[in-house]
Structures are given as C-alpha cells and as structure tokens.
Amino acid sequence: MSAAKIIRTFQRYILSTLLIVMGVVIVASSIELVIVVVQELLAPPLLLDLGELTKISGLFLTVLITLELFGILEVMLLENTVHVEFVVAVALIAAAREVLVLEVASVPPMTLVGLAALILALGAGYYLIKRAGPPGADSSKVPD
C-alpha cells in the first residue's frame, strides 16, 4: 500500500469520525435551542426582551454554523475537495453571530474595528470568489 493511499485512508477515518461527532453536536444543540426557546416563551413576562432574543439568535446561528461545517466536512469526505466559497460563507456567518451577541459597551473600540475589518475582508473575498466562478469557467463572464 502506498503512502498516499495510507494518508487518504487515515483522512477518511478522521473525517468520518468528525462527521459523527459533529452530527451529535448538531442534534444536541438543536435540542438545546428548542428547550431555550420554549423556556423563554413560557417564562413571564410572555414577551421576549433583547437579552433573550440575543441568546436565542446566538444559539440559532451556532447551530447554523455547525450545520454548515458539517456540510464542508461531508464534501471533503465525499468529493475529496474543499469549496472555499462555503468556508468563507461559514466565516461570515460566525462573524455575524459575534456581532449579534456582542455587548458593544464592554468591548474595546479597536476590537470593534478589527471585527469590522474582518467582516469587510470576508465579504470582499466572498464577492471575488463568486465573481470568479467555478474553476475552469470562462472568467470573462460575470455571474448575476
């Protein structure tokens, strides 16, 4: 057996294990999200305040990020490739989650500037990746 085949087999086992673990995390996180939403809705007062909405939004986006990471690992396992567009999209979602759950009053201004720069860079990178199109495509055509 060649070294390349051994490495590929090792990668497949690791990716399979990560997918199983990530699947368990997704199920557990989804259950936790449902429990938190039900508890927050049933607790008096019956209206959600900003803190509760922030908590629920943070949990929701965490589940979404984990689900997207699951998809990236699945593609890596099945197609033996990484779609950079998906990785950048997950990074954008993660940055958006940070903005939503951030307590702006307690964060140093330079941290906010750094987060803004990160989101700007990820957005520009995503735009350029989408504009470039799939590998091997005619680069003179710009997608709508």
Reading the block at residue 127, the tokens are 């735009």
Checking if the pLDDT of 120 tops 60, the result is yes
**Using one digit for the tens of pLDDT, what is the confidence trace for 49-58?**
888 888 888 8
Is the bond into 135 cis (omega within 30 degrees of 0)? no
26 contacts: CB under 8 Å, gap ≥ 6: 63, 66, 67, 70
CA gap 57, 73 in Å, rounded: 24
**Using one digit for the tens of pLDDT, what is the confidence trace for 30-48?**
999 999 889 888 888 777 7
pLDDT of 140: 45
| Contact call for residues 90 and 65 (beta carbons, < 8 A) | yes
